[in-house]
């Protein structure tokens, strides 16, 4: 798959940390460090502009280390970048901890997964087929 990229970033293009990684690391393109206070959120630029082929999306997801160690996560996870979006990719980070967190220029702030998606055509019906689960929702299959 070819992806067209414009980068205003002084850092290398997103890359996979390991051979089997699903997500590529996105970096903060900042002129100076930014502090996110407890329960605050901020949009962090990545300097990336992409053109995905039709039938693909890019999902922006949290980095597990930032979430586990510092309480920093992506607010609208996964954030979806559609194939027709041409603006800069920005990451909405939120600090769910009780201490301020500093984001430094070039720091890995999120990961991006590129995936195929389907376009569906709705078929309205009066009755859905039945399943063993039925209408059982939240927690209905166990703890």
φ, ψ at 67 (rounded to 5°): -70, -50
If you search the block for the tokens 């992806």, which residue do you land on? 3
Q: Closest Cα partner for 61 from 80, 74, 45?
A: 74
Whether omega for the bond prior to residue 78 falls within 30 degrees of 0, making it cis, is yes
Distance CA 24, CA 130 (A): 40
Distance CA 124, CA 142 (A): 31
3-class DSSP assignment, residue 69: helix
Distance CA 74, CA 57 (A): 17
Q: Closest Cα partner for 34 from 117, 82, 102?
A: 102
pTM for this prediction = 0.86
pLDDT in tens, the chain (143 residues): 677 888 889 999 999 999 999 999 999 999 999 999 999 999 999 999 999 999 999 999 999 999 999 999 999 999 999 999 999 999 999 999 999 999 999 999 999 999 999 999 999 999 999 988 888 878 777 76
Return the DSSP state at 134: T
Q: Which domains does the chain have, with CATH numbers?
A: 4-12+23-116 (2.70.40.10)
Q: Cβ contacts of residue 40 below 8 Å, gap of 6+?
A: 94, 95
């Amino acid at each position: 798959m070819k992806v067209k990229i414009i980068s205003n970033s002084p850092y290398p293009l997103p890359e996979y940390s390991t051979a089997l990684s699903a997500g590529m690391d996105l970096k903060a393109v900042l002129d100076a460090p930014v502090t996110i206070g407890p329960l605050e959120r901020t949009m962090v630029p990545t300097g990336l502009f992409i053109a995905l082929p039709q039938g693909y999306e890019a999902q922006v997801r949290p980095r597990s280390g930032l979430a586990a160690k510092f309480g920093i996560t992506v607010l609208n996870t996964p954030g979806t970048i559609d194939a027709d979006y041409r603006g800069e990719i920005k990451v909405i980070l939120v600090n769910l901890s009780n201490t301020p967190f500093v984001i430094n220029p070039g720091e890995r702030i999120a990961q991006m997964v590129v995936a195929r998606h389907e376009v569906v055509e709705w078929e309205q019906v009066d009755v859905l087929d039945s399943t063993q689960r039925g209408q059982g929702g939240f927690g209905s299959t166990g703890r």
